[in-house]
């Protein structure tokens, strides 16, 4: 297997959820210390990939200010992050996709290199980040060759990412040295607590 380079990788920021715990506000656009959450992710994630896509199901005009391609889920009814991953896999022209959620402002600048190294070392088509305690499924790298498997799974009405992963060999990318990079905000209260801690 050849080494994976940045040119081989498209990144997708998953911002397609309903954010029910955020009272339905669009999570990527919620301010954290005065800046939309997605901007933190773009700043650290974009330099790690050759192309970046934003997956959002609302507010395309606002998201388009960042200058990246915006894609909606190709599956109806907000059926979860896997739908965003599938829609991105269907679009990309690189052999690999790396995913990150829009609500994780402390994302690691070594996320993509760790995921690539794990796939390369273990010769798999999927790698998933691990924070030392558990897998972090929305921080993963997937080879485009898996698109038909993912589409078939979603078409059957399946939703769970872990269950889809379990159909394939996966490599685990150890990011236990940087657990904070997986911290993500699912409610306004969590944002307020974190803002106060940083003061
Ligand atoms: N495309 C897409 N993304 C989703 C959907 N539901 C959730 N997500 C995204 O998946 C990520 C994780 O969702 P989140 O609600 O934060 O889950 P949790 O933090 O694991 O409890 C976020 O970036 C969401 O925007 C969906 O139906 N479609
Ligand atoms: Mg979250």
Can you tell me the distance from the alpha carbon of 89 to that of 141, in angstroms, rounded to the nearest whole number?
Answer: 11
Helix axes 81-91, 147-155, angle to 10 degrees: 140
42: enclosing H helix or E strand: helix 37-45
Can you tell me the distance from the alpha carbon of 126 to that of 146, in angstroms, rounded to the nearest whole number?
Answer: 9
Using most ligand atoms within 8 A of CB, pick from 12, 13, 17 the residue to mutate for ligand 1.
17
DSSP summary character for residue 88? H
Give the helix ranges, DSSP H, for 100-187. 111-122, 147-155, 161-165
Question: Is ligand 1 within 6 A of the CB of residue 28?
Answer: no
Question: Is ligand 1 within 6 A of the CB of residue 187?
Answer: no
Ligand 1 atom, smallest distance to 186 CA = 16
Task: Enumerate the domain spans of the chain.
Answer: 6-198
Residues bordering ligand 2, an ion, CB closer than 5 Å: 103, 184, 186
Can you tell me the distance from the alpha carbon of 16 to that of 103, in angstroms, rounded to the nearest whole number?
Answer: 11
The CATH number of 6-198 is: 3.90.550.10
pLDDT in tens, the chain (199 residues): 778 999 999 999 999 998 888 888 899 999 999 999 999 999 999 999 999 999 999 999 999 999 999 999 999 888 899 999 999 999 999 999 999 999 999 999 999 999 999 999 999 999 999 999 999 999 999 999 999 999 999 999 999 999 999 999 999 999 999 999 999 999 999 999 999 886 5
Count of other CB atoms within 10 angstroms of residue 147: 17
Question: Is ligand 1 within 6 A of the CB of residue 114?
Answer: no
Global confidence as pTM: 0.97
Quote the percentage of the chain above a pLDDT of 70: 99
Can you tell me the distance from the alpha carbon of 175 to that of 167, in angstroms, rounded to the nearest whole number?
Answer: 23
Tokens of 176: 């236990």
- Compute the distance from residue 103 Cα to the ligand 1 centre, in Å: 9
Question: Is ligand 1 within 6 A of the CB of residue 26?
Answer: no
Can you tell me the distance from the alpha carbon of 2 to that of 9, in angstroms, rounded to the nearest whole number?
Answer: 14
Ligand in closest contact with the CA of 56:
1
Can you tell me the distance from the alpha carbon of 14 to that of 4, in angstroms, rounded to the nearest whole number?
Answer: 22
């Amino acid at each position: 297997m050849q080494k994976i380079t940045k040119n081989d990788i498209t990144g997708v920021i998953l911002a397609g959820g309903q954010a029910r715990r955020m009272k339905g506000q669009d999570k990527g656009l919620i301010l954290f210390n005065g800046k939309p959450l997605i901007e933190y992710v773009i700043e650290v994630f974009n330099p790690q990939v050759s192309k970046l896509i934003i997956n959002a199901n609302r507010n395309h005009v606002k998201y388009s200010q960042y200058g990246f391609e915006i894609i909606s889920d190709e599956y109806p009814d907000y059926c979860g992050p896997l739908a965003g991953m599938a829609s991105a896999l269907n679009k990309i022209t690189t052999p690999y996709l790396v995913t990150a959620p829009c609500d994780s402002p402390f994302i690691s600048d070594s996320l993509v290199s760790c995921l690539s190294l794990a796939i390369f070392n273990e010769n798999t088509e999927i790698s998933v980040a691990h924070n030392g305690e558990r897998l972090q499924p929305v921080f993963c790298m997937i080879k485009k060759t898996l698109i038909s498997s993912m589409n078939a799974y979603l078409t059957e009405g399946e939703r769970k990412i872990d269950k889809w992963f379990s159909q394939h060999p996966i490599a685990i990318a150890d990011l236990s040295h940087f657990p904070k990079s997986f911290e993500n905000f699912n409610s306004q209260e969590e944002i307020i607590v974190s803002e106060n801690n940083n003061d």
